[in-house]
Amino acid sequence: MKYCISVLLIAFTSFSAFSQGTGLSATISYPITVGDNFLNEYTGFVDVGVQYRFWDLNVVNLGISINASFVGIPNPENEGEEFRGMLIHPTLFGEFPLGRNGEFKPIAGIGYGANRFVSTRNDDGFGDVTFKSTWEGIVLTAGASYDISQRFFVVALFDWAEINRSTITVSDDAFDNRGNIIKIGLGYRF
């Protein structure tokens, strides 16, 4: 985790040195799992994202983004067990500048999520046993950002994911195949 944050800080610094008004921004947020779904046992650790706005139509700015949310279950019921996940969501989004200078921007987007989950358990006499699984599905995003200054902004987003997790051991009902995350954070515009 420290390595990931260090790499992102170096990358953001490099971007700002070489870009001026390029439509590129980066965010760091706190993800909160919400709703009655399989993610409700997980705790969010951090969400990092990069956004690129490629088309300014005055009424709407179109762009692409990629976010990675890191989640886990910090105190599982069985001692020695650890659960963690990384939710990666590339998204096509539109932001709608409102206000005197366009400082308030409602955001809507659609994307496709790849969600990687790992659980590790210490089996007596056999060492650690690790189970890995990846589920994919459609992600809808809604939220808003507000410019604090020319470079910094605050952002709040809601991600709703429809993920196909149906297997022999996972049912196909909505609880097991949907995930909701609210992300609240800070962004920097390069």
Question: Quick one: pLDDT at residue 124?
Answer: 65
DSSP code for 171: -
Query: CA 150, 140, 84 angle in degrees (round to 5)?
Result: 90
pTM score above 0.85: no
How, if at all, do strands 152-163 and 104-123 pair? unpaired
**Bigger pLDDT: 147 or 170?**
147
Q: Which residue has the tokens 């989950």?
A: 117
pLDDT at 77: 67
pLDDT digits (tens, 9 = 90+) for 15-73: 444 445 678 999 999 998 887 655 667 778 899 999 999 998 889 999 999 999 888 87
Place of tokens 């989004």: 93
Rounded mean pLDDT, 130-152 = 87
Among 137, 152, 140, 67, which Cα is nearest to 107's? Answer: 140
Task: Specify the pLDDT at position 85.
Answer: 84
Which of these CATH numbers, 2.40.160.20, 3.20.180.10, 3.90.320.10, 2.40.40.20, describes 2-189?
2.40.160.20
Extended strands (E) in the chain? 24-34, 43-56, 61-73, 82-95, 104-123, 127-147, 152-163, 178-189
Asked if residue 11 has pLDDT above 80, the reply is no
Q: How many CB atoms lie within 10 A of CB 67?
A: 25
Reference 35, options 183, 175, 177; nearest CA is 175
pLDDT band at 169 (very low <50, low <70, confident <90, very high): very low
User: Which of 84-88, 128-132, 164-168 shows the lowest mean pLDDT across its residues?
Assistant: 164-168
Round to whole Å and give the CA distance between 37 and 68: 19
Residue type, 160: W
Calculate the alpha carbon distances from 145 to 50, 53, 102, 103, 126 in Å. 14, 14, 10, 8, 49
Q: Quick one: average pLDDT of 139-144? A: 95
Q: What pLDDT is stored for residue 178 in this prediction?
A: 66
Across the range 10-15, mean pLDDT stands at 51
Strand partners, 187: 27, 153
Q: How far is residue 93's CA from residue 145's CA, in Å, rounded to a whole number?
A: 13
pLDDT in tens, 88-127: 889 999 999 998 888 999 999 999 988 787 777 766 666 6
More confident residue, 60 or 12: 60
